[in-house]
Amino acid sequence: MGARVRQTVTHLADGRELIYFDDTEPFVSGAATRDLHDRRDLPPVAATSEMRGDPLTGEWVTFAAHRMDRTFLPSAVDCPLCPSRADVCTEIPADDYDVVVFENRFPSLGAPSAGEDLVDDEGLWPRRPATGRCEVVAFTPDHDARFADLSVPRARTVIDALAARVTALSKQPDVEQVFCFENRGVEIGVTLQHPHGQIYAYPFVPPRSRALLDRAREYRQRTGRSLQGAILDAERRAGTRLVVSGDAWSAYVPAAARWPVEVHLVPHRDIPDLAALDEHERDELAAVQRDLLGRVDRFFPGVDRAPYIAAWHQAPVGAPRGDMRLFCQIFSLRRAPDKLKYLAGSESAMGAWISDTTPERIAERLREVAP
């Protein structure tokens, strides 16, 4: 963590960890966060999640029944990510903040570690606790803001916070994959409207990461090159789907894009995760990510805020560092100003994607709506 950002670690009333990432006064000196305390009377968090192996696919499925009663689309007055007030104490005890990361009160992962057993004593169905960790990243105290509204320095602080958490979580026992992402919009399924992201530290390598890793390894064995590096070079040569070309980052619509709005943000260096970004790469990323998310919001005329997911794909914790390259996949399920793309039979049941547009049209529109 650079000198420009101060980390202050504290705990909420139920013992969950909370970390302030401050870049402005009075926070960066520590004076404003030193004596903050959570005034609530909260019971301890009891994550009871378990994972069961699917014998048909070899994938782990997580069951987190305790999340059924989690907070769901509260009003701005009751938002748990807004700063605390004299009459209301939220998840963030401070009356103002820069960026905050804390353990999720309703985590999908985080059950106590224990041994593996079998469902119904049948060898087909292994079962084990869903260990790991789930964190919430509050980007800003402004309830009505969006990531694209952040200043470049504040977006850089978010990136520094994510990188710091990737470093810390990658060292935890049983963690095999750290996934940083932002869900935005009720159409995506968010339960909190306040601008925020999440971090999942999985105790297994999820299917998408496994597929990316396997393809990358096969390509390197066959050619001696990085697959994602080769794709970036090819997209920059073609130029037809290129959206942004910077000094350290490029953004393009992939030639086989699945979603009606999709763009990949890729570093020019072959690096495994957010923690490996240098200072220059972080600076440029702060500007480019804001730019791209703003373009997604302007993609459809008359739509103020498009639903989207911004997903950071990183190398699994135990993978050799050269096997998989960092990139951000930004996509929206909106396919027209008044229509959403629903995953019907071919996509949901067979995983065989059918697109209603072309990658070239997506890229052309993203270039048209540049600031």
79 annotated binding-site participant: yes
143 labeled part of a ligand binding site:
yes
Spatial strand order of the sheet with 50-53 comes to: 60-63, 50-53, 126-129, 117-118
Look up the domain containing 65 and give its range: 6-204
Residues 281 and 247 in one domain: yes
We report the CATH number of the domain holding residue 281 as: 3.30.428.10
The alpha helices in 108-239, defined as continuous H runs, are 152-170, 207-223, 227-238
User: Taking 80 as the threshold, does the pLDDT of residue 220 lie above it?
Assistant: yes
Query: Which run of H or E residues covers position 249?
Result: strand 249-252
Q: Is residue 23 part of a domain?
A: yes
Q: Does the residue 141 lie in any domain?
A: yes
Q: Are residues 295 and 175 in the same domain?
A: no
259/353 same-domain check: yes
Regarding whether 247 and 200 lie in a shared domain, the answer is: no
User: pLDDT value at position 292?
Assistant: 98
Average pLDDT over residues 96-118: 96
Asked, for residue 1, whether it belongs to a domain, the answer is no
Task: Average the pLDDT over 356-369 and give the result.
Answer: 98
pLDDT at 296 over 90: yes
231 and 175 together in one domain = no
Q: pLDDT (tens digit, 9 = 90+) per residue, 230-266? A: 999 999 999 999 999 999 999 999 999 999 999 999 9
The verdict on whether residue 280 carries a ligand-binding annotation is no
pLDDT value at position 320? 79
Q: Pick from 186, 204, 222: which residue ends a domain?
A: 204
Domain end among 175, 204, 233 = 204
Mean pLDDT of the 204-219 span = 96
**Would you give the DSSP letter of residue 114?**
-
Quick one: 11 and 113 in the same domain? yes
Does the pLDDT value for residue 29 go beyond 90?
Answer: no
Task: Tell me if residue 240 falls in helix, strand or coil.
Answer: coil
What domain count does the chain have? 2
345 and 213 assigned to the same domain: yes
Radius of gyration of the chain (CA): 21
For residue 235, is it within any domain? yes
User: Tokens representing 333?
Assistant: 């399920």
Within this chain, do residues 217 and 196 fall inside the same structural domain, yes or no? no
Res. 270: pLDDT tops 90? yes
Residue 32 has pLDDT above 90, yes or no: no
Question: 50 to each of 199, 260, 350, how far by Cα in Å?
Answer: 19, 34, 26
Residue 137 has pLDDT above 90, yes or no: yes
Tally the residues of the chain: 371
| pLDDT above 70 (res 338) | yes
Task: Find all residues with CB under 8 Å of 356, minimum gap 6, and list them.
Answer: 260, 335, 341
* Spatial CB neighbours of 321, under 8 Å, sequence gap ≥ 6: 272, 315
Confidence check: pLDDT of 2 > 80 = no
Residues with active-site annotation: 196
Which two structure tokens, joined as six digits, stand for 29? 């000196």
Residues 170 and 59 in one domain: yes
Q: Does the pLDDT of residue 34 top 90, yes or no?
A: no
| pLDDT at residue 118, as a whole number | 97
Is the pLDDT score of 179 beyond 60? yes
